[in-house]
Amino acid sequence: MTKKTLFTLMIAGLMTAAQAGWASGRDEVVSTASDQSGVAVTIYNDNLALVKDTRRVRLERDFNQLAWREVSAQMRPETAQLRNLSNPAGFRLQEQNFDFDLLTPQKLLEKYVGREVSVIRMHAGTDVETRETATVLSTNNGVVLKFADGRIETGVPGRLAFPGVPDTLRDTPTLVISLLNPVAGGQNLELSYLTGGLSWRADYVAELNADDNRLDLNGWVTLTNQSGAVYRNARLQLVAGDLNRVREAQPVPRATMAMAKAADAADMQQESLFEYHLYTLQRPTTLAENQTKQVALMAASRVPVRKEFLLEGANYYYSGQVGEIGQKIKVGVFVEFDNKGEGLGVPLPKGVIRVYKQDGQGNAQFVGEDRIDHTPKNETVRLKLGEAFDVTADRKQTVFQKLAGSGRFNYVFESAYEIALKNAKPEAVTVTVREPMPGDWTMVNESQPHTKAASGTAEWKVKVPAEGATTLTYRVRVKY
């Protein structure tokens, strides 16, 4: 039996069960999203959110069985907390159960394994229906039924009717709470809980000018809701920072999300929160299920930019004879800017910056991207955009000598190197050559002065003329 056939077969059964009423709902106070007076959602970087759902619910005095429907399907029930904002004194919780086994034709059938259902058949050419009672034996790869006369059937020519819906089977995720309430009547209740399935990230779009010395930067918050619930007109807050969490198994991904149209630009108010930063959207927004939404975060124009060509070495060739190290070595291209000035000077959440530049016809072309970590104000943002096409290097070792040492330590090596930098561009460039120097090192001689960027790093700024080349040579003594 196909899933489509099984679904058709169950529809009548579901209608019959619905007409009979929920077995679990007869003695329950049911609250739905229509009771909602407000909802606040705080989303963290790591697939975690705090939901505060406020509803106006009419409760009886003393014992109540409250079914709080339309909560997140990925709720962490151990974090759920229900408060009575109207009459907190004497309001006590006794028990809570999270019912996330949702009502479907297949689930309903599975719950009736070993139980009786009615098989309804329509006779061909007539409007006469017959009804038989059968026991569900199995639902694996189809339905297996046993009838009163002992026969077993798998291909059921008809539909099934069920006497009711089991207590734990719900049509929407529901938190069922047993509680004691001091006063009968309408109560303002707030349910707060942590949930997975809600996440956010920062995405940035930058456009370089023609001279690569300034850029325009726009930041977006990208929100994704795969929690299985809708948050209508929510007060939205985002926390940027790395929270310590007890790690649990990752939830199974839900259905493919739909891409929503980018939201209208709106300012995000920023403030410090403990050792993190909190961003608050200044208007309510709706987070639909299986939706990605973008909200404007920041914008800055004509931000000063520094461009760098960087050639980095390795420390392995300072302790052995290697000869040719590499030819036509690609030189990395980096841009960096300071997080300060108009439009900047605010904490930038971690995310990806995608960089564009206009071509000769004025069309913006993608030129690279890089990921940044959380960046405080006044710090430097540094992006690697790729490898230069027209700037290359040839590196070789010209001398290697062992001057002293035996055993595992007290070695002294002296080696010389030649780096030929080539530039095919129509304008001159400056290449930063950065060499990691192992051990205790001393520069013996060099074709141009170096700077000591760190205790184990020598650095040169080498100017290479347009459509020309420059050769850097140096000799270094290393002690281990």
Contacts of residues 143-147 at CB distance under 8 Å and 24 or more positions apart, as own/partner, are: 143/1, 143/6, 143/9, 143/109, 145/117, 145/119, 147/119
Residue of 391, 417, 401 whose CA lies nearest to 472? 417
The domain 306-339+379-479 having CATH identifier 2.60.40: the answer here is: yes
> Residue 462: how many CB atoms within 10 A of its CB?
19
Whether the per-residue pLDDT at 367 is higher than 90: the answer is yes
**Average per-residue pLDDT for the chain:** 88
* Phi, psi angle pair for 107, to nearest 5°: -65, -40
Report pLDDT digits (tens) over 132-167.
999 999 998 889 999 999 999 987 767 899 998 887
**Residue-wise DSSP of 216-231:** EEEEEEEEEE-SS--E
Whether the per-residue pLDDT at 5 is higher than 80: the answer is no
pLDDT of res. 123 = 78
Please report which confidence band the pLDDT of residue 182 belongs to, taking 50, 70 and 90 as the band edges. Answer: very high
Q: Which is it for strands 258-259 and 291-304: parallel, antiparallel or unpaired?
A: parallel
Top pLDDT among 294 and 256 is at 294
pLDDT of res. 18 = 39
* Phi, psi angle pair for 105, to nearest 5°: -55, -45
Q: Give the pLDDT mean for 448-463.
A: 96
pLDDT of res. 236 = 95
Q: Which residues of 155-171 are buried (b: 16+ CB within 10 A; e: fewer)?
A: ebebbbbbebbbeebbe
Residue of 145, 277, 124 whose CA lies nearest to 200? 277
Q: Are the C-beta atoms of residues 133 and 116 closer than 8 Å to each other?
A: yes
Question: Number of helices and strands (H, E) in the chain?
Answer: 2, 32
CA separation (Å) from 356 to 156, 204, 214, 221, 263?
62, 11, 12, 19, 22
pLDDT of res. 108 = 87
pLDDT of res. 247 = 65
Q: Is 385 exposed, middle or buried (0-12, 13-18, 19+ CB in 10 A)?
A: buried
Tell me the chain's radius of gyration from C-alpha atoms: 34
Q: Which residues pair with 463 in a beta bridge?
A: 430
pLDDT of res. 248 = 59
Q: Give the pLDDT mean for 316-330.
A: 93
Q: Distance (Å, rounded) from C-alpha 251 to C-alpha 325?
A: 48
pLDDT of res. 258 = 43
CA separation (Å) from 425 to 207, 360, 392, 445?
22, 17, 11, 30
Q: Is 380 exposed, middle or buried (0-12, 13-18, 19+ CB in 10 A)?
A: exposed
Q: Distance (Å, rounded) from C-alpha 234 to C-alpha 286?
A: 6
Q: Are the C-beta atoms of residues 438 and 315 closer than 8 Å to each other?
A: yes
Q: Give the pLDDT mean for 195-199.
A: 96
Q: Give the pLDDT mean for 375-387.
A: 96
Whether the per-residue pLDDT at 333 is higher than 90: the answer is yes
Residue of 100, 245, 106 whose CA lies nearest to 162? 106
Residue 248 corresponds to which tokens in the numbers above? 């649990």
Q: Give the pLDDT mean for 207-235.
A: 95
Q: Of the ranges 4-8, 146-150, 460-464, which is most confident?
A: 460-464
Please report which confidence band the pLDDT of residue 250 belongs to, taking 50, 70 and 90 as the band edges. Answer: low
Q: Distance (Å, rounded) from C-alpha 169 to C-alpha 99?
A: 7
Question: Measured at the alpha carbon of residue 370, what is the angle toward residues 368 and 375, in degrees to the nearest 5?
Answer: 140
pLDDT of res. 267 = 63
User: Alpha helix (H) ranges present in 21-162?
Assistant: 105-111
Report pLDDT digits (tens) over 62-78.
999 999 999 999 999 99
**Residue-wise DSSP of 412-435:** EEEEEEEEEEEE-SSS-EEEEEEE
Please report which confidence band the pLDDT of residue 227 belongs to, taking 50, 70 and 90 as the band edges. Answer: very high
CA separation (Å) from 14 to 5, 9, 348?
15, 10, 51
Could you write out the three-class secondary structure of 191-202? EEEEECCEEEEE
Report pLDDT digits (tens) over 202-218.
999 999 999 999 999 99
Whether the per-residue pLDDT at 262 is higher than 90: the answer is no
pLDDT of res. 15 = 39
Whether the per-residue pLDDT at 21 is higher than 60: the answer is no
3-state helix, strand, coil in the chain (%, to 5): 5, 60, 35
Contacts of residues 402-408 at CB distance under 8 Å and 24 or more positions apart, as own/partner, are: 403/477, 405/480
pTM of the model: 0.73
Whether the per-residue pLDDT at 194 is higher than 90: the answer is yes
Domain ranges (residues) in the chain:
3-104+162-194, 198-304, 306-339+379-479
User: Alpha helix (H) ranges present in 37-97?
Assistant: none
Top pLDDT among 26 and 242 is at 242
Report pLDDT digits (tens) over 37-62.
999 999 998 889 999 999 999 999 99
Q: Which residues pair with 303 in a beta bridge?
A: 215
Report pLDDT digits (tens) over 163-180.
988 877 788 899 999 999
pLDDT of res. 467 = 97
Whether the per-residue pLDDT at 408 is higher than 90: the answer is no
